[in-house]
Amino acid sequence: MTKYARRRALVAGEATGIGLAIAKRLVEGGATVLLTARTEEERAHAVAELGSTARVVTPSAVEAALTGDGATAFGGVDLLFADAVPTARPLLPHLKDGGAIVLTAPTPCPDTVRAFAAELASRGIRVNAVAPGCIEAPGAGAVPLPPLGRLGAAEEVARAALFLATEATFTTGARLPVDGGLGRP
């Protein structure tokens, strides 16, 4: 599949769960992916899951990976997936005009998403957020089930994030709950 061919994506802030699920779908779709992973164990797991088509680096090595010399430079980014605005903000110089940012933290404040979107609108950069809730996580304790009666999967959040990044081209400043109806009365 080449749905994301010729796209360069950076997935920053989480190399497990949702972040890894996003990176997998991007790689499967033909994107060039740079993923950050905090620990050696996370890096090894991500490399095993993604193969050689993705680069996995520590958060402190992102700048060097983006601006490295010659063939080692990742280059400009079309799509940025970050857990929060403070993670995304230092990466803005590497995001191409007309690109997209999707925030993936469970509780992105709607006002923060809208303000960040307004700030970047002049560059044609769309900013949206997914708000995951009740997502299966290894080692997590029992949680009340949402109205849909089951826990969600990281893959379901990844699909929503990729929709906002690549298909919702006239959407910015939106926060999409992916929580099985938990946020509804």
pLDDT, residue 184, reads: 61
For 175, left (φ over 0), alpha (ψ -120 to 50), or beta?
A: beta
pLDDT, residue 11, reads: 98
**Residue type present at position 80:** L
pLDDT, residue 141, reads: 66
Element (H, E) at 95: strand 95-103
The list of the chain residues with pLDDT below 70 reads 1, 69-71, 139-142, 184-185
Residue among 25, 74, 21, 15 at smallest CA distance from 46: 15
Prediction pTM value: 0.94
DSSP 64-87: HHHH-SGGG----EEEEEESSHHH
3-state secondary structure of 55: strand
Model pLDDT for residues 124-140, shown as the tens digit of each residue: 999 999 999 989 877 66
pLDDT, residue 140, reads: 66
Angle, CA 80 vertex, CA 156 and CA 112 arms, to 5°:
85
pLDDT, residue 182, reads: 84
Instruction: Report d(CA 100, CA 128) in Å as an integer.
Output: 8
State CA 24 to chain mean position distance: 11
Instruction: Report d(CA 171, CA 25) in Å as an integer.
Output: 21
User: How many Cα neighbours within 13 Å face the side chain of 184?
Assistant: 9
Model pLDDT for residues 162-185, shown as the tens digit of each residue: 999 999 999 999 999 999 998 764
